[in-house]
Each structure stands twice: as structure tokens, then as C-alpha cells.
Structure 1
């Protein structure tokens, strides 16, 4: 037991939850900004899971993978001309680029809160599936806040 390392990976349940929610929201006509928050959350969850599978120290870093995924996703949206429209802005920023960037930060905040709560609780979780609930819960809260404040 002394040689066992702690695992901080995002579980597949988290990935499926974010992915399913994102697809459903887009089909229901939800605003690009809100969908982008969830796409970025999915990318970050995948990056944290994938980092546990990669042996290379650089590419096995979940933060680096998350930023790379953000770059690849934004590149796709830019090259397919889904960004840059003056009518698709929030606070003067493109909704997709802003949503993707903020979604990454929100998901990282959820992971930070999960890890900090474990430290404060003597290395133990507060409740089952805490690792899933904190990032998704924080993302839901921010989604609702932006939906209500900006009427998206």
C-alpha cells in the first residue's frame, strides 16, 4: 500500500455526462457560448483522463493536454468559419472562443475544489462521485449564471 499512487483522473461517467449534455444542448438551439462552455468541459475531462494513459512527462501533463485540446478545438471552429461574426459576441468577445476559454478555467476550478476538499478532509472524499460532482456542478452553476445575466 505504501507504493500506491493517488489517481486524479476524470472518470468516464463525467466524460459521458458532459458529452451527452453538450450534444443535447446544441440540438435544442442553446446559445453557442453555453454550448462552448460544455465542449471545453468535455475536452478538459478527456485530457485529464488521457493524461493517465500517456507515459511522456510533457504530454502526460493534464494541464498541457487541456490547453492543446483547447487549441485544436478553437482551430476547428476558426477554420470552419464558425467564429468571428460580429453578431455572435458576448462582452465584445466571440462567444465560441470566450466560452471555450472560460469553460477550461471553470472545469479546472471544479478539479481544484475537489482536490482542496480532499486535503481539508484528511485525504478523504466528502461524498461518493465527488470528483464528478464538483466539476460538473461548478459548470452547471456558471451556465445558469450566464444564461440568466445575459439572457442567452
Structure 2
């Protein structure tokens, strides 16, 4: 686990009382899942057609980039 490898557990590496690595894993997973749901709803609204080519790739990249930028602003 991350704790046994001394990657996680440093009290100075926390945000909102939670380790930054664990927080990033949780929020990144939730954000990725929301992007998949958004992709499915867009396709459903357009009769199983995408709006943009590579929409399935663009949406997760966009969502995760926005999340990264928000946390950059919070931590800087």
C-alpha cells in the first residue's frame, strides 16, 4: 500500500485533513465517472451520435484538466 511505501501518510502533505494522493484519486475517479455520464447523455440526446469526433476522449480530458486547474488555484 501507499502507507507502507512511505508515499502516503505525511502530515504536511494533506488538504482538508486528507492525504493529497488519496484525495486526488477519489476526486479524479468521480470526475472521470461524471465525464462518462455526460458523454452518454449527449449521445442519448442526439440519437446515439456524438457532437464532436473523439468526444469520448475529449470530455474526460477536459473535465480532469478543469479539476487540475481548480486544485492548482486552491493550493497555490
Instruction: Establish whether TM, by shorter chain, passes 0.5.
Output: yes
The partner residue of 1:121 within 46, 56, 63 is 46
**What's the TM-score, normalizing by structure 2?**
0.93
Partners in 1 of 2:75 and 2:10 — Cα distance? Answer: 18
Give unmatched runs, 5+ long, in structure 1.
1-74
Higher helix share: 1
2:69 match = 144
Partners in 1 of 2:21 and 2:4 — Cα distance? Answer: 13
Partners in 1 of 2:52 and 2:15 — Cα distance? Answer: 36
Partners in 2 of 1:103 and 1:127 — Cα distance? Answer: 23
Partners in 1 of 2:74 and 2:20 — Cα distance? Answer: 15
Query: Hey, which bits of structure 1, 4+ residues long, moved more than 3 A?
Result: none
**RMSD value over aligned CA atoms?**
0.9
**What's the TM-score, normalizing by structure 1?**
0.48
Count of matched residue positions in the alignment of Structure 1 and Structure 2? 76
Give unmatched runs, 5+ long, in structure 2.
none
Once the two structures are TM-superposed, the CA of residue 149 in structure 1 deviates from its matched residue by: 2.2
Partners in 2 of 1:120 and 1:78 — Cα distance? Answer: 45
